[in-house]
Each structure stands twice: as structure tokens, then as C-alpha cells.
Amino acid sequence: MTRLRTLTVAVLAAAAVAVGGLAAAPSASAMPNLRSCDLMTAKANAAYALGNVYTGLGWSTPAQVAYARADAYYDAASVCYRAAR
């Protein structure tokens, strides 16, 4: 009978800890991380530089694709920075 009582107390204690852990979990923040904004800006700079390389080689189509990708990253970074304020 002592084993059953000990097991019951252990199960109830574990359940209480689990429920308390779920109730005390912090909510996720909707604010973007500034590091991710900086990463998008770095990707935009790399895409723009690649577009310059393609332009220098005379490859206009890949250059246009790279510039379009850079513009998309710049736009995303701009939105990210505005949301972080």
C-alpha cells in the first residue's frame, strides 16, 4: 500500500509541475529580431553585388534577376526595421 501511495503522490506532483510549466510559459513576441533585419540587408547587398558582377560580364538577364532579388530583400528589410520600432 505504501508503494501505491508513493506512486500516486509522484504522479500528481509530476502532473502539477507539467501544468504549471505550461501556464507559466512566456508568449512569443511579435517583434522581429533586429539581427534578422540585418541579415536581410546583408543578403540584399550580396544580391546587388552579384548583379554588378553579372552586368560587368555582360550577362543582362542574370543581372536583372539578381537586382530584382536585391530589391525584394531591401523591401523585406525595410518592413522588418519598421516593425522593430
Reported as a single tens digit per residue, the pLDDT across 44-79 is 999 999 999 999 999 999 999 999 999 999 999 999
What is the grid cell recorded at 31?
A: 517583434
The pLDDT, as a whole number, for residue 85 is 75
pLDDT at 41: 95
Nearest-angstrom CA–CA distance, 1 and 44:
69
pTM of the model: 0.61
Cell of 6: 508513493
Runs of H (alpha helix) within the chain: 2-23, 34-57, 60-84
pLDDT at site 8? 54
**Grid coordinates standing for 48?**
546587388
Of the chain, the end-to-end C-alpha distance in Å amounts to 61
